[in-house]
Structures are given as structure tokens and as C-alpha cells.
Structure 1
């Protein structure tokens, strides 16, 4: 088995302030755009980042500006791995239990991320989304 080359790693954190998050996500996306030319994949990554980071701020950190959201993003071969962690108490969410006919807001972001990702892992206050390119 060959070695998979890592072509990009981003690791950073942002405080739980919606204005700071907008600039943070824009910075991350501007770096990724230099590597990924496919606009459909870029759209998916932008949506995944927005949903996970904003969920972490609102639901995990309860908009407490003294708490941060951490992001680790890696592009290796044809795989994009996005890991987001907050300082909240964590979630216990079963995606299969979500019923869209109930019109609840809670859980919708994770359903969107699950639909855009090839793999999704929820572990307490950390979520990992994996997307394959091509």
C-alpha cells in the first residue's frame, strides 16, 4: 500500500463570536481554494464548515465569547477530513432519529452535514466529517 500524501493541513481556533467566525471561515476557504478547483466540492466544504462551526458556537459553547471552537482540516489524497470541537458538554444525537416532518430546527445542521459528507462521526463535543473527492 502506497503512502498517501498530505497536501494541506489547517489547524486553528476561533472564539465563539459570530463576527469572528465569518472571518475565520473565509480565511480557511481562501487557503483551500488554492488546492481544490472543483466549485461543487468547495460549496460542500463551505456549508459543512459553516454548519459545524456555528453549531459549536450556538449549541456547544452557548455563544460564550470566552470559549473557543477548534478546527482541524486535512486534505490527503482524495480525502478531506474536517474535525470541529467546542468547549461544550457534548451531544448525544442519533441521525437516524431525525424526522424532517416534525419541522424542528434542532439537528437539521447535522443532517445537512451528514448528507454532504461521506462519513460523519460524533464523539461528545467533537464532530468529524470526511468527504471524498472524485
Structure 2
């Protein structure tokens, strides 16, 4: 499978082979789906979805070659709910929450970015399913929620 999507009563469902080029396509389709349903903080939604899809694409296969990434986007009351999953073993998300990587790190900022822009973020126990919620009137970025290495909120 390279890329497939459909809309039903449960929302927009996207499944794709974990290739970077499919992330742009999925984010564009999600933006179109959400924007057809009123005014939303699209920058925030696109950013958190892109980060989640990128993490699932890069890390979700546990080194077993090509894998599939799944994403479902639903409009629930006055919020956009996005669930991203991959077949990998997951990761220790508890150790990553609320932490900013060192300034010279080349990666590792995705969880913090999602924390800063999403109104709610929750993983399953294994860490291979992520649910993000962005409310129509939710806070935008700039609300510091992540801590630096010394444990201070930035």
C-alpha cells in the first residue's frame, strides 16, 4: 500500500506506507477536511499532525523496513481529534513528556512541539498510538509547557 484515504461517519481515515512524501499528502488532505468545517487554528493542527506523522514514519517500524502509518481525524463538538498509530513497539513517552532536548540536539523536539500546540495529547501504554486534540478556541503556541534540562519551564 502506498496511500489510501476515505471519509465516513467516523471522520477522515488515512493509511500510508511510511515514506516522507506521504506525510505532506496526508497533512494537505487533513487540512482540507478540517477547513471545510468552519474556522480552525489550522497552523496548530497541521503542525501537531505533521509531527505525529513524522514520528510514526521515522520511528514506528522498529527498523523492519517499510511499515504503515494510520491516521484518523474526527470533528467532535468543538475540537479536532487526531489519532496516529504505527505497528512498532512504541517508546517511553513518559520519559519524553515535558522535556526540551539540548540545544545542540539534531532531533527530539517533536513531543515538546506537540505538547506546546495541542490542547490535549495522550499515548497508549506502549507509545505507538497517539491521540491529539485541538479545540477551536484552544491556546496557541507560545504557552510554555516544556522544561529545559534543569527542569525549568521555558
Shorter-chain TM-score tier = 0.7 to 0.9
User: How does 1:25-44 map onto structure 2 within 5 Å?
Assistant: 25-38=27-40, 41-44=41-44
Instruction: Tell me the distance in 1 between the aligned counterparts of 2:100 and 2:24.
Output: 30
Quote the RMSD (CA, aligned, Å): 2.2
CA distance, structure 1, for counterparts of residue 82 and residue 116 of structure 2: 14
Q: Which residue, 124, 128, 132 being the options, matches 2:131?
A: 128
The CA deviation at 1:46 is 0.4
Q: Which has the higher contact order (CA 8 A, sep 6+)?
A: 1
**Structure-2 separation of matches of 1:65 and 1:86:** 13
Structure 2 counterpart of 1:69 = 69
Decide which structure has greater helix share.
1
Equivalent-residue separation in structure 2 for 1:120 and 1:87 (angstroms): 19
Residue 133 of structure 1 deviates from its aligned partner by: 1.4
Equivalenced residue count is 125
TM-score (ref. length: structure 1): 0.81
Structure 2's unaligned 5+ residue stretches are: 1-8, 138-154
Task: List per-residue Cα deviations over 1:41-69 (Å, max 9, x = no partner).
Answer: 10001001110001100011258663111
